[in-house]
A and B are shown apart, each in its own frame.
Chain A
Amino acid sequence: MYGNDFPGEDPPGGLLGEVEAAEVALRAAAARDRGAAEPGGDLAAYFAEVVDADQKIEPRDWMPEAYRRTLIRQIAQHAHSEIIGMQPEGNWISRAPSLKRKAILLAKVQDEAGHGLYLYAAAETLGVSRDELVDLLLSGRQKYSSIFNYPTLSWADVGAIGWLVDGAAIVNQVPLCRCSYGPYARAMIRVCKEESFHQRQGYEILHTLAHGTPAQKAMAQDSVDRWWYPSLAMFGPPDGDSTHSAQSMAWKIKRFSNDELRQRFVDMCVGQAEALGLRIPDPELRWNDDRQAYDFTQPDYDELMQVINGNGPCNRQRMEHRRRAHREGAWVREAATAYAAKRAEKEKVAA
């Protein structure tokens, strides 16, 4: 989503407007307060009633065990994605073309860490500890978004990630601002507001390159060529093959289907690509007047399954790096804990 200074933008309001609307709706729903569940009443019926009324389920409310498990899995995998997502871009911090770009990229990667932490905190409200979740990631029992298993080969990739990958993430995440689970919805509102800068900075990088030398423009085009289909795959398998969708929609964890969101993303990108002067690498891409939407080529879902199953270009590298970072940070965590214990001991003696 872009401000008024870019061509090909969303109409005023746009995705950021939807985030604001979600926040207003959240407050309005909170204002339509309802009594607590009747003592000894039907807790499941009360839960369904709250969800139907678009109100929020909070940590201490009764919830179906499967709802809790689904949320833990989704929020944790979302958190892991933010943390692993620091790697492809972190790869370019030391080689950013100017001090300004470097400062911006540092701030962005720092934001990703922050988003990961907001989300781990939201997951913890469901009765799981962050240590457990980190273990699940490190032991490969929980996944992160497959997109981060692709390499960043050029500086233009930092631009393409901001524009396409963050763009797709925002399209996915904006509806999550209306998720039925309060702590997740509130974390997503915070994340989405911060993401708008990420997408904008990526678009600006590509815009600069696309209007630079022929070599720079070629680099930008190459980058879009490589990131387009993996970005489309970020929305997950087609609706018919999506395993978790129907129940999540019923619980209002998820508000739109994978295919609906993918279509929305494609429709947004076409005009933005034109303004960049870059080509979306899809010969079948064309406006369909009947559907009032663009026809486009689906991403390669066999490739998506391969990458999910650990066979993408960078899966091993990403996990090795994450494990090493965790291992090498152990002494810092231990030192901080020891220092806190020592101080607590001293205070006890003094008291």
Chain B
Amino acid sequence: MSRQHTPLWEVFVRARRGLAHTHVGSLHAPDAELALHNARDLYTRRQEGVSIWVVPASAITASSPDEKDAFFDPAADKVYRHPTFYEVPDGVAHL
């Protein structure tokens, strides 16, 4: 079993309370607990974070860059979702 595949994990670090977890890289580990420990040693040697997520890379489903336009297009023609779409009458404040 010397060449058994060790799964790949994607690592996300929260730099400070109040910030979102950000993807920082990936690593190999046999299970979640070790992945977490390895991520601490690899990606937070200088106190870069207060919280870490590890996610099996195989569990991530990514959209395809080739389909980016078609995939995100439906939002493109809905300008009325932005407040700037609406004209505010002169003199109306706090709106």
Whether a CB of chain B sits under 8 angstroms from the CB of A337 is yes
The answer to whether B30 and A130 have CB atoms under 8 Å apart is: no
Whether a CB of chain A sits under 8 angstroms from the CB of B68 is yes
Contacts of B68 in A (CB 8 A): 35-36
A176 CB to closest chain B CB (Å) equals: 16
The answer to whether A58 and B65 have CB atoms under 8 Å apart is: yes
Instruction: Enumerate B21-55 residues with CB–CB distance to A below 8 Å.
Output: 25-31, 34, 41-42, 45-46
B13 CB to closest chain A CB (Å) equals: 12
Whether a CB of chain B sits under 8 angstroms from the CB of A215 is no
Task: Report Cα–Cα, A344/B66, bound state, in Å.
Answer: 36
Task: Report Cα–Cα, A111/B45, bound state, in Å.
Answer: 8
Q: How many residues of A contact B (CB 8 A)?
A: 31
Q: How many residues of B contact A (CB 8 A)?
A: 27
Chain B residue with the shortest CB-CB distance to A117: B42
CB-contact partner of B65 in A60, A110, A194, A343, under 8 A: A60
B1 CB to closest chain A CB (Å) equals: 6
Mark each residue of chain A from 109 to 127: 1 if its CB lies under 8 Å from any CB of chain B, else 0: 0110010011001101000
The answer to whether A334 and B69 have CB atoms under 8 Å apart is: no
Whether a CB of chain A sits under 8 angstroms from the CB of B64 is yes
A174 CB to closest chain B CB (Å) equals: 19
Contacts of B26 in A (CB 8 A): 121, 124
Whether a CB of chain A sits under 8 angstroms from the CB of B58 is no
Whether a CB of chain A sits under 8 angstroms from the CB of B3 is yes
Contacts of A131 in B (CB 8 A): 3, 5
Whether a CB of chain A sits under 8 angstroms from the CB of B8 is yes
Chief secondary structure at chain A's binding surface = helix
The answer to whether A110 and B45 have CB atoms under 8 Å apart is: yes
Whether a CB of chain A sits under 8 angstroms from the CB of B61 is no
Whether a CB of chain B sits under 8 angstroms from the CB of A339 is yes
CB-contact partner of A340 in B2, B3, B30, under 8 A: B30
Task: Report Cα–Cα, A192/B34, bound state, in Å.
Answer: 27
The answer to whether B30 and A114 have CB atoms under 8 Å apart is: no
Mark each residue of chain B from 1 to 23: 1 if its CB lies under 8 Å from any CB of chain A, else 0: 11111101000000000000000
A121 with B6, Cβ < 8 A, contacts A60-B64, A110-B45, A114-B42 known:
no
Using a CB–CB distance below 8 Å, which chain B residues touch chain A?
Answer: 1-6, 8, 25-31, 34, 41-42, 45-46, 62, 64-70
Using a CB–CB distance below 8 Å, which chain A residues touch chain B?
Answer: 35-37, 39, 58, 60-62, 107, 110-111, 114, 117-118, 121-122, 124, 130-131, 187, 194, 330, 333-334, 336-340, 343-344
Known A-B contacts: A39-B70, A111-B45, A336-B34. Give 5 more (CB < 8 A).
Answer: A36-B66, A114-B41, A131-B5, A337-B30, A343-B31
Could you list 19 examples of A-B contacts with CB < 8 Å? A35-B69, A36-B66, A36-B68, A60-B64, A107-B45, A111-B45, A114-B45, A117-B42, A121-B26, A122-B25, A131-B5, A194-B46, A333-B2, A334-B1, A336-B30, A336-B34, A337-B6, A339-B30, A344-B31
